[in-house]
Structure 1
Amino acid sequence: MQSTSFGSGNQGQQVGQNYGTINAEFHLPPGNVSAVRACPAHADAPAEQAETPPAPSATIPFSPDPDFVNRGDILDQIDQRCSKPAARVALVGLGGVGKSQLAIEFAHRIAARQPDIWVFWVHAGTQARVEEGFRTIADAVKLPGRNQPKADIPQLVYNWLSNERNGRWVTILDSADDRDVFYSANSTHGPATGDARDRRSFATYLPQSRNGSVVVTTRNKDLAFRLTGRRQNMIEVGPMAQADALTLLERKLGSLPDTTVATDLVQALDLVPLAISQAAAYIQARAPRSSPEKYLVEFRESERKKSRLLAYDGGDLRRDGDASNAILTTWTISFDHIYLKRQSAADLLSLMSFFDRQGIPGWVLKPSRTTEDTTQARCLDEAGERESDDDSSATNSGTDDGTDDDIDGGFEDDVAMLRNYCLITADKEGDEFEMHGLVQLSTRKWLEATGQQETFKQQCIKRMAASFPTGEYENWETCRRLFAHVQVALGYRPSGETVETWATLLYNGGWYALSQGRYDIAHEMAGKSRKAHEKRLGKENTATLASISLLAWVLSNQGRWEEAEKLFVQVMETNKTKLRADHPDTLTSMANLASTFWNQGRWEEAEKLFVQVMETSKTKLGADHPDTLTSMANLASTYRKQGRWEEAEKLEVQVMETRKTKLGADHPDTLTSMANLASTFWNQGRWEEAEKLFVQVMETSKTKLGADHPDTLTSMANLASTYRNQGRWEEAEKLFVQVMETSKTKLGADHPDTLTSMANLASTFWNQGRWEEAEKLFVQVMETSKTKLGADHPDTLTSMANLASTYRNQGRWEEAEKLFVQVMETSKTKLGADHPDTLTSMANLASTFWNQGRWEEAEKLEVQVMETRKTKLGADHPDTLTSMANLASTYRKQGRWEEAEKLFVQVMETSKTKLGADHPDTLTSMANLASTYRKQGRWEEAEKLEVQVMETRKTKLGADHPDTLTSMANLASTYRKQGRWEEAEKLEVQVMETSKTKLGADHPSTLTSMANLASTFWNQGRWEEAEKLEVQVMETRKTKLGADHPSTLTSMANLASTYRKQGRWEEAEKLEVQVMETSKTKLGADHPDTLTSMANLASTYRKQGRWEEAEKLEYVHSFASHPVVTLCSVDWLASSSFKLGESAEPQQ
């Protein structure tokens, strides 16, 4: 300001050069007022007195927050950047994420740490608030002339801030969200001269002086960039880290509730500070009737209650008075602003609010010239502005009458605006978008208030239905990316024509979910699709029947076969009435029903329907039609399940050859038929033929379908199973590991196929005696199956049985029995008393009783299993023969030789007729019969059979196959029993050395072979050689199986017997007492092995002349003083399961 004084000797006006407005003050002598003409513009201006420049201070309108939570290094970043000359920093983020709170904390810290720095606070939400903030700065620094009516406050402040002599300063521009406040034609400042050239935008009043820094908080990235000049000057502020959110909740509540509840609560609130603070305020205001637990329950109950809670405004002293403390209202401000600026961007946000919050693909959102969506203009709140329905300004790109380039450009502009306001984020590639869940909820409530919610919900359903494909494998990747959005759409309740579109979307979604083993969600989708189709189209419509069939397939996969059967019957009967009995859809529905019978073990009913479908298809469609060939494959699978190998093989060869001719050798259907034929070979023990086909299928699948295709993985598993059955453990393990890892990556760790691959690998460990590794996998499979499929699902029961078998092999009888009983009882309830799986569970329980010497209980179950199988499957079915062999083994253990022999002979003769003389099961039956002869001392008959078994296995399986080694050990045992020591020793050495090479030095079978050889040395009086082997076996078993495992106890007893023979009584007694006491604890006082241990100890006492102690023990039955362990030739055969129309890996 220019100030001029006049004395009595000088009566004139002094004007200096000034490029701005000249303000003159006149000091006249008394009585001369009329002599001077004052400037009209300032005639009434009051005189100002000079003010003393104040010391630096802060104009922060908010006190420090005692509950403030420091969030990582954000404050440090602000401080570091503000330390540089002319610094500008912007905190950018969604409303409510705590930008202003960070700015408040920073302002107070800088003011406290550096008292010589001015700290100014300007609320930048509107032009008026900015002017008010500049006025506050002018007052704080006591700018001369600020009180003049026409004072240009922004210019005065700008001049002061630019003058480095005034010291250092930091200015906070809070809530600078509107670009127009700083840059548009309406946000200008200057003298009202009428000349637009003299007017300036507010942004120009922010100096870039070396002595000052500007900190901006904004929701608008574009404005942040304009105000700071560089992307590097922008600090993005998102939701809090979970630990910080928990700390904030604790400080707001005064104490932290249960950790789980607190974590769930802050996660439900998207870790947004404002939402957390207001939730705490709500809880405290209503305590004790409200609590974090009750708040969380109410929050999750429904969207309406969630919205009510989020609309709560509890007040906050550290938020601007004009700002709402309710998170929903906070974001509504952004929505309204975007709608006014660019309606098409608001429409895009509205559409996105109905998708899942993550992974929203841009290609689904982008409109096209064929898009049927009709977007109506929405009204804002009554107090706000409205744009007319016919607005065609350049800011609205919601119309679809331009070129594709216009559409693309408009879409990209919409995305840019939403990203600028931090309402959405994009992934690294920019192809997919993400929204916070609470932002989506707020958007939907905003739409609800304007009556537009249903419009955009229907748009979402239409876009998804047009984008989500069917559930075939080739569509899986697209389905995977979109499935979460289908799950969200599952909860919608559309109306009108959209209902049919929604039902189709859920049908495709359910189809994909079924293929992924996600049966619960598949069931829900299929069920809702069915109801919607029935309501819209009627019960007999094709789409309705397809939904019913899909639901039935889901039920079937859940093991709920009765419910599935009921639905399949409904579809079949409807198709017969509506389309004719020979219509392809009718035949398909019959095949589906047959498959349900098949899964229930109702082979005759399944066969009857499959035959009918096959014959009708041949007549109606032709013998080489794909559907006809599928029906033949299904019938063949039924024959295979019944053990009718020749009939199955005949059909499968025919299907395979026809498909090769009709479709080509590398067609997926051809490969499936080859795998089915290989499975039939597999069941017949024709390993080489099975292997040859499985290798061919696997290699072709890799080339044709890809190494990670489910069919390729199945072929690899089938080949691995073939290796396993040939005792080629390393090759089998390598393939099973590869299948498991690929399945985890491709399908997920909890997919049923992944669990099957884990069980297969565990079975390979099981066969190698690697019990701990097997147990670990079986437990994992069982627990995941329980969670994923349910405790009573057939696959879960199988996993429990597998784990129980592992316990049994480790001698953990009680644990095994507990699981086997649970499996049996659940199977009876779930599947029926005569279901094949129920019978298998009963046989497994019987085997556990058998191992514990509980012969009567074992016999009772085995008789029941055998009789039911005879009735259900036939007397010559492989499973029936297995049950007969098991019962015969129980008779043999009880010394009931004639009964055992009778059954073993029957099994052997039937197997020869049914399966062939060289089938593995036939050879097992021969070995079992030979063992019975050996027990009776019928050496010649036993030897004759054992030689035959050994030679056939050598030819059929190879000289080093585990089964071949077992037969050699059995023959050696017969030689030993006859005192033919050299012949026995020769075979046993061969078995031991081959086992070491083939299976490993610590494999249970290797240890058994060493014990057998030691027994031969023992019988020849070669004590040192016997002892050396027995010690090695005992120590390895202690390490491998545990000190109380039955096999370990046997090895200890054998070593004690060797000590006894050498007169080393104390060593023998010490071991025998240990064996006896452990057996009592582990097996029970009346177990045969316990009684044997007592007899052995009595013998040692007797040898020492300790008659009383010996007599005390000798009331028990007399047993052999030196129990000899031989390889058991009783095979507990597990069942194999196959899917209709495709080959599933044979499993143990």
Structure 2
Amino acid sequence: MDPLSALGLAGNVVQFVEYGVKICSLVKEYSSLEGCPRQVSEFSHRLNTTLQTVNDLNDSDRVLLENEKATLELCATKAAEFLAYLEEFRVSSVDTNNLENSKGFLVRRKLDLRKVCLAFKTKWKMEKLQELDSAIDQLLKAIMLQNQSRSEGTTLRVEANTMRLLESSKQLLGQLDELKASQTDGLVVKVDSDSQNIKTQRVFSVHASRNTGFVGREAVFRELRENLAPSQNVGIREAALCGLGGVGKSQIALEYAYRLNDSDPEMSVFWVHAANLQRFEQEYRAIAQRFELPGRDDPQIDTLQLVRDWFEHEYQQPWLIVVDNVDDNQIFQKTSTGKTGREYIPQINPHGSVLYTSRNRDICFQLVNDPISIPSMPADEALMLFDDRIRKTSTRAEQLSLAEELEFLPLAIIQAVKYMATRRKTVSQYLELFRENKSSRIALLMHKFSDARRRERGLESVATTWMVSFNHIERECPRASELLSLMSFLDRQGIPKSLVVNNAENAVDFDRAIGLLEDYSLITSDDTNTLYSIHRLVQDVTIAWLRSQSKSRIEQSAFLALDIVSTKFPKEEFENWPTCALYVPHARAISNLCLEMPPEEKEPISKRVHLLKNVASYLAEQGEYEMAMSNAELALELCHELTGTDILVAKAKVAYIFYLKGELVEAEDLYRGFLQDVEADSSNKGIDINTMMDVEANFAFALGENGKLEEAESRIRRLLEYQMIELGTNDKNTLESANVLGGILADQGKFTEAECEYRKTLRSVEETLGLHHPLTFSIMHNLGLLLQGMAKCEESLKLFQLVDKREKEIYKDDNHPRIITKWALAGNFEILGQREKAEIIYREALESSQKCMGPNHSFTIRILGNLVEMLEDQGSYLSAQTLFLEHAGIMRLESSNFVEALRLMRTMGRMLFEQEKYAEAEIWFRKELNRCEILQGTVHKDTFITLEWLVACLERLGRVQEVEKLIVEKLGPVQLESLDCVSALGIMNTMGCTLFKQEKYAEAEIWFRKEYPRRDSICGTYHQDSLESLDWLTLCLEKLGRFQEIEELIVEKLELVQLESLDCVSALNIMHRMGHMLFKQEKYAEAEIWFRKELNRCEILQGTVHKDTFISLEWLADCLEELGRVQEADHFRGIQQEREESLEVTERLKQTTLYDEEIDSDASAVEEDEPIDLRHRLYLERRKAN
């Protein structure tokens, strides 16, 4: 080749190659744009091949003809024009080194990309590409003609180059055809076309664009990659995604398809919808058309089989088929060709793989060995589904709450996001609507929306998605639909198999029905397949689905659920406790439903009442009294629409709960009313005999606890006699009544008889019911407490330790029997002096009782009271008060209806009194007094005891006038004198003393005259309290100057011989006062007798150097002097003087001040030993006054 020709050829080639390289660069940039035509994105590969051919031509030593040069120049020109045309779409570059210019780079870049996409849609002109293609075609033809005249050696090389150019040309022409077709085809399609070898075509045929908002699920993708990875096996690889509708199975499959397309340029992907056989066939026929399979249009040829054979034997590219929505068994049913859809799935090809998605787990197991279950999303991934607007207008906690309410289901979250966007709601507002009630929740779940990622499904919602599954289930297995409906009315968790299976149901049929619900991921089972759980949202949608059928359908389903639970819920017997514990949540759920039953429909109400009563009984046995009472009262309310018998039985149940709670006054009233109603109306005679026996036994127990012991014993013995004849001595009811009898005997003080009754009953119970029966423990508790009261604490302790060991085997710590055992153990340890152990166990019992029975229960208050009293006895006032104040507010003692609360308040007041904190003590005594008057009345002994303490506080505070006002306000003499209560007499005595201190002797006399006869009658004439009362009365008479009455009163009531043998100070006072009265009347000889008797008892009881002894010596000496027996008088005065001299000088000084300090000291000593002996203190003060 001459230099000039070579230079011209090189220039043309370089120019053409330069333009071609720039075109390839732009095409590469544009290929990432969604708006770019698909054929442009593939153009770079074809053009590169053409450029390589031209370069090869330039390297050869062949001389170009003129027509070849002209054609090459034309190609360069057209390439330049096409390059200029493509430049119009180019995004302007940004200098990223310039900080100010690069700040908005991303924003501008995004806008520019949008402009390019729009430009491609509006400016693209096919002729530009056609012109370039035509020029290249001319060049190739010229080269072909020239190649025909070349030598044989060079012909082979030229032909090879020519063929490559021809192939590139045809590829460009084919690309133009595809571009025209793509303008009317909505599918996302990428094709590598080879007209000569269709077996190597690369196809990406997916009916949805990529979900740019997809997040998470990386664990699932790892599992998919492992299951679908290439292998050496001949067969294809298969995987299946199964899970609840809306959990994101199809979205995972879609994302996997796009990731596979990005990572493997050779991989072909096909999407086949299999929601029904018709759609499945359409998808297969479309594949046949895509590959132009021979015979595809022949009605005599099975097109679906052509597709399977093509993938198994002909197609040489690696491929993935996604078979989406295989939600029912239609894929296993025959198509129009006579074969099932499953038979058309390719099975043989080491380069092939199939991915299924289905809501039905059973179908997935039929398709693959180990399907991948798709659960709800993890919390962190679920939160990523909320858009920017929601993140800006809500907190992360609110978002998490909403995601939890929606069970972390992707479709439910997206639906909520769409609703909030269209209704302009915040997350908190949406949550408020969602939690408002079931109807509101269902309405939100029914809200339809359009999801761009699920266009083929149109408007949808979580509810409509699931209802499709419900319809499938009802068609396939009506029993499964029935089970789903039943579970929708129960608690969502822990649904026992025993509750939902029919008694006569075939096990295989049940397993098939329950298995179908599990297959659709609507329910789950535990490892033992005996407990089931269901999504709460599935429950709501199921109820909506039932309601959409008809009103009668929802009512029938609800009544069926109520009937099943009511019939199967067992009685509260100990043997049934495990079953009751499983059934209670479901009984609560079904009983709380507001069913709109017609008024004449009595049976549903009757079933509901029956269920509520059984639940109430069981809960009461477990110590859940508030919940038990709620159920019982609701049953009683519903009973008004039923018969009288139903009402009575419900009343008995309410009374039983009061009985278990320890509110025995209320229980007694209800039981008495029940029995009166039964006696009054003959129509009530048909009440179950077991109910009647329970009522009688509980009524007798309540009577005994309320102090009506004779009536209680009479009733329980009558019942026990009947039971022993009709039921036998070892019947459970008989043994329960014997247990009650033992308690009544113990309350009457018949301890030995009660112990015998308990021991005999315990032996029978252990033999009949076993060592771990609740009745066994109850009798052991009662026997142990009896032994404790009989001072047999060591034996009681051993018994309770045995009970403790047995109870631990079957009870949890926060159980009522366990609490009683701990409390009794602590009491025994306290009595035996092991107070550290006692305190630890008391505190454990207190904590358990608060959890089990509540802080306001009588037993909880009793335990706290025992612990506080023990700490008080130890002198640990601070600990006791701290403990009391910690619990007082929680227990609401001031409004409590339990006697234990009154005693606890009194304990607190007494502790403060003993610490001389009288003002604080007054507060608690006043609180106790108010509750005593409300609960026990103004004339109850506890009311008087409290009043005594309150009066003592006022006296110590120096508010004596308030004492008189308080007693007159609360009580009057006429009311008090008829009572046999010792505390009432104490109040009268206190009132008399208070008036005496105010020198109101006549008024004081009235109170003492009322008190003394009652003391004399109740306590006896020579009882210390009777003598003290008489002492006060005579002192009043003395102050009033009525000496004769004093002598007459003492002589009438008392004999000196009896008095001189008594060891009480009041007897000495009366002897002294009698001698004093006789002395005043100048009856010295008689006075001498009384003074001598007094002196003898003083020396014996109080010693020879006691102040009272000295006083007696003085009075006796004065009498002798008045009788003229001066020497004897001096003798006694000498004795007194000698005794006084024997005392310390300080003691003699005290005597000269009328023993004031000694009196005060004695009073304090008495208060330390006997803090509540107020009368003795007043007596000492009276002696001081004398």
Normalised to the residue count of structure 1, the TM-score between the two structures is 0.57
Tell me the distance in 1 between the aligned counterparts of 2:393 and 2:918: 45
Tell me the distance in 2 between the aligned counterparts of 1:565 and 1:609: 12
Q: Greater relative contact order: 1 or 2 (C-alpha under 8 angstroms, separation 6 or more)?
A: 1
Instruction: Quickly say closer, same or farther: Cα 1:293–1:503, change in 2 above 3 A.
Output: same
Following TM superposition, by how much is the alpha carbon of 1:248 offset from its aligned partner in structure 2, in angstroms? 3.9
Map 1:188-337 onto structure 2 (within 5 A). 201-202=342-343, 204-205=345-346, 209-210=350-351, 212-230=352-370, 233-238=371-376, 240-242=377-379, 244-245=381-382, 248=385, 253-255=390-392, 257=394, 265-287=402-424, 292-322=427-457, 325-337=460-472
Following TM superposition, by how much is the alpha carbon of 1:730 offset from its aligned partner in structure 2, in angstroms? 4.4
Matched, 1:172 2:172: no
Provide the secondary structure at the position in 1 that maps to 2:345. helix
Provide the residue aligned with 2:523 in structure 1. 424
- Which segments of 5 or more consecutive residues in structure 2 lack a partner in the other structure? 1-192, 996-1003, 1020-1062, 1065-1105, 1107-1159, 1174-1186
Q: How many residues align?
A: 812
Which structure features the higher share of helix residues? 2
Provide the residue aligned with 1:339 in structure 2. 474
Counterpart contact for 1:92–1:236, Cα < 8 Å: yes
Map 1:75-474 onto structure 2 (within 5 A). 75-79=221-225, 81-83=227-229, 85=231, 87-111=237-261, 117-134=267-284, 143-145=291-293, 148-150=296-298, 152=303, 155-156=306-307, 159-160=310-311, 166-167=317-318, 169-181=319-331, 184-187=332-335, 201-202=342-343, 204-205=345-346, 209-210=350-351, 212-230=352-370, 233-238=371-376, 240-242=377-379, 244-245=381-382, 248=385, 253-255=390-392, 257=394, 265-287=402-424, 292-322=427-457, 325-369=460-504, 407-451=506-550, 452-474=553-575
1:778-807 Cα distance to aligned partner (Å, 9 max, x none): 799778868xx9985759968996998999
Instruction: Quickly say closer, same or farther: Cα 1:296–1:704, change in 2 above 3 A.
Output: closer
Tell me the distance in 2 between the aligned counterparts of 1:270 and 1:723: 53
Following TM superposition, by how much is the alpha carbon of 1:511 offset from its aligned partner in structure 2, in angstroms? 0.6
Following TM superposition, by how much is the alpha carbon of 1:720 offset from its aligned partner in structure 2, in angstroms? 2.2
Provide the residue aligned with 1:1107 in structure 2. none
Tell me the distance in 1 between the aligned counterparts of 2:411 and 2:270: 24
Counterpart contact for 2:839–2:867, Cα < 8 Å: no
Provide the secondary structure at the position in 2 that maps to 1:95. coil
Tell me the distance in 2 between the aligned counterparts of 1:856 and 1:87: 102
Matched, 1:554 2:679: no
Tell me the distance in 1 between the aligned counterparts of 2:361 and 2:951: 72
Letter in 2 for 1:122: V
Provide the residue aligned with 1:984 in structure 2. none
Tell me the distance in 2 between the aligned counterparts of 1:55 and 1:839: 99
Map 1:675-686 onto structure 2 (within 5 A). 675-676=781-782, 678-679=784-785, 682=788, 686=790
Counterpart contact for 1:759–1:799, Cα < 8 Å: no
1:53-102 Cα distance to aligned partner (Å, 9 max, x none): 77675736044253x45357444444555556465433321112233334
Tell me the distance in 1 between the aligned counterparts of 2:990 and 2:207: 89
Matched, 1:480 2:581: yes
Counterpart contact for 1:241–1:271, Cα < 8 Å: yes
Provide the secondary structure at the position in 1 that maps to 2:479. helix
Instruction: Quickly say closer, same or farther: Cα 1:76–1:630, change in 2 above 3 A.
Output: closer
Provide the residue aligned with 1:1073 in structure 2. none
Instruction: Quickly say closer, same or farther: Cα 1:120–1:265, change in 2 above 3 A.
Output: same
Instruction: Quickly say closer, same or farther: Cα 1:476–1:72, change in 2 above 3 A.
Output: farther
- Which segments of 5 or more consecutive residues in structure 1 lack a partner in the other structure? 1-46, 370-399, 401-406, 892-898, 915-943, 946-977, 979-1119, 1134-1148
Tell me the distance in 1 between the aligned counterparts of 2:973 and 2:614: 41
Provide the residue aligned with 1:70 in structure 2. 216
Instruction: Quickly say closer, same or farther: Cα 1:612–1:61, change in 2 above 3 A.
Output: same
Tell me the distance in 1 between the aligned counterparts of 2:576 and 2:981: 42
Counterpart contact for 1:274–1:327, Cα < 8 Å: yes
Map 1:434-833 onto structure 2 (within 5 A). 434-451=533-550, 452-492=553-593, 493=595, 495-536=601-642, 538-539=643-644, 541=645, 543-555=646-658, 567-578=670-681, 589=695, 603=707, 606-607=708-709, 609-610=711-712, 613-614=715-716, 617=719, 647=749, 649=751, 652-653=754-755, 655-656=757-758, 659=761, 672=778, 675-676=781-782, 678-679=784-785, 682=788, 686-687=790-791, 689-696=792-799, 698-699=801-802, 708=811, 711=817, 714-732=820-838, 759=864, 794=898, 824=928, 827=931, 831=935
Following TM superposition, by how much is the alpha carbon of 1:255 offset from its aligned partner in structure 2, in angstroms? 4.0
Tell me the distance in 2 between the aligned counterparts of 1:336 and 1:58: 31
Tell me the distance in 2 between the aligned counterparts of 1:247 and 1:320: 22
Letter in 2 for 1:699: L
Tell me the distance in 2 between the aligned counterparts of 1:682 and 1:887: 39
Letter in 1 for 2:654: L
Instruction: Quickly say closer, same or farther: Cα 1:883–1:56, change in 2 above 3 A.
Output: farther
Of the three residues 200, 208, 212, the one matched with 1:61 is: 208
Larger radius of gyration: 2
Provide the secondary structure at the position in 1 that maps to 2:457. coil
Counterpart contact for 1:655–1:673, Cα < 8 Å: no
Following TM superposition, by how much is the alpha carbon of 1:517 offset from its aligned partner in structure 2, in angstroms? 2.7
Counterpart contact for 2:858–2:901, Cα < 8 Å: no
Tell me the distance in 1 between the aligned counterparts of 2:587 and 2:394: 35
Cα RMSD over matched residues? 6.4
Following TM superposition, by how much is the alpha carbon of 1:723 offset from its aligned partner in structure 2, in angstroms? 0.9
Following TM superposition, by how much is the alpha carbon of 1:695 offset from its aligned partner in structure 2, in angstroms? 2.6
Normalised to the residue count of structure 2, the TM-score between the two structures is 0.55
Map 1:637-1036 onto structure 2 (within 5 A). 647=749, 649=751, 652-653=754-755, 655-656=757-758, 659=761, 672=778, 675-676=781-782, 678-679=784-785, 682=788, 686-687=790-791, 689-696=792-799, 698-699=801-802, 708=811, 711=817, 714-732=820-838, 759=864, 794=898, 824=928, 827=931, 831=935
Tell me the distance in 1 between the aligned counterparts of 2:313 and 2:956: 96
Counterpart contact for 1:424–1:434, Cα < 8 Å: yes
Letter in 2 for 1:454: E
Following TM superposition, by how much is the alpha carbon of 1:214 offset from its aligned partner in structure 2, in angstroms? 3.8
Instruction: Quickly say closer, same or farther: Cα 1:427–1:555, change in 2 above 3 A.
Output: same
Tell me the distance in 2 between the aligned counterparts of 1:418 and 1:131: 28
Instruction: Quickly say closer, same or farther: Cα 1:868–1:323, change in 2 above 3 A.
Output: farther
Counterpart contact for 1:61–1:121, Cα < 8 Å: no
Instruction: Quickly say closer, same or farther: Cα 1:123–1:616, change in 2 above 3 A.
Output: same
Tell me the distance in 2 between the aligned counterparts of 1:661 and 1:590: 24
Instruction: Quickly say closer, same or farther: Cα 1:272–1:660, change in 2 above 3 A.
Output: closer
1:259-306 Cα distance to aligned partner (Å, 9 max, x none): 77655544443343323332343343333xx55455444444443343
Following TM superposition, by how much is the alpha carbon of 1:487 offset from its aligned partner in structure 2, in angstroms? 0.7
Counterpart contact for 2:247–2:410, Cα < 8 Å: yes
Counterpart contact for 1:315–1:325, Cα < 8 Å: yes
Counterpart contact for 1:527–1:551, Cα < 8 Å: yes
1:331-379 Cα distance to aligned partner (Å, 9 max, x none): 111111122222222222223323222111112222233xxxxxxxxxx
Counterpart contact for 1:590–1:609, Cα < 8 Å: no
Following TM superposition, by how much is the alpha carbon of 1:815 offset from its aligned partner in structure 2, in angstroms? 14
Tell me the distance in 2 between the aligned counterparts of 1:724 and 1:733: 8
1:600-628 Cα distance to aligned partner (Å, 9 max, x none): x6x4xx44642553575588778998989
Tell me the distance in 2 between the aligned counterparts of 1:526 and 1:724: 39
Following TM superposition, by how much is the alpha carbon of 1:431 offset from its aligned partner in structure 2, in angstroms? 0.9
